[in-house]
Amino acid sequence: MQSAKRLIGVRIKSIRESKGLTQESLAEKMDINTVYLSNIERGRANPTLDMLIKLAHALEVEMWEIFDFGHEVNVKELRDAMSKLLKETDEEKLRLALKILRAVAR
């Protein structure tokens, strides 16, 4: 799995691009240097908590969304995570999970 800094950077870039923002426009919105933002997105800078809050605000997302990089893991890691969750789940929740998976698969 990639380093946490790299995953956070990739996630920030993904959110920025989904919002149609360039690095320049986001950096200007945050009043930071474009090079610093680029380093964050490449996992080369360590953004402070204050900077992550500022990023979330500028991107108009909740803070947790910056850390939501589950889609960046490979298929084996996804299967392992699902398997672990299923082993810890009671019958009622298993039935609900199956219904949801069937709906998604259709």
Helix (H) or strand (E) holding 41: helix 34-41
- Angle formed by the axes of helices 49-59 and 23-30, nearest 10°: 110
Q: Measured between alpha carbons, how far is 5 from 3 in angstroms, rounded to an integer?
A: 5
pLDDT one-digit tens code per residue, 43-89: 999 999 999 999 999 999 999 999 887 666 677 777 877 888 888 88
Residue with tokens 């995953």: 7
Domain count, the chain: 2
pLDDT one-digit tens code per residue, 20-30: 999 999 999 99
Query: Are 79 and 37 found together in one domain?
Result: no
Query: Are 45 and 17 found together in one domain?
Result: yes
pLDDT one-digit tens code per residue, 5-21: 888 998 999 999 999 99
Query: Are 55 and 8 found together in one domain?
Result: yes
Full domain range(s) for residue 51: 4-70
Q: Measured between alpha carbons, how far is 44 from 36 in angstroms, rounded to an integer?
A: 9
- Give the CATH number for residue 60: 1.10.260.40
Is the overall model pTM greater than 0.95, yes or no? no
Query: Are 58 and 93 found together in one domain?
Result: no
Q: Measured between alpha carbons, how far is 60 from 43 in angstroms, rounded to an integer?
A: 21
Query: Are 100 and 52 found together in one domain?
Result: no
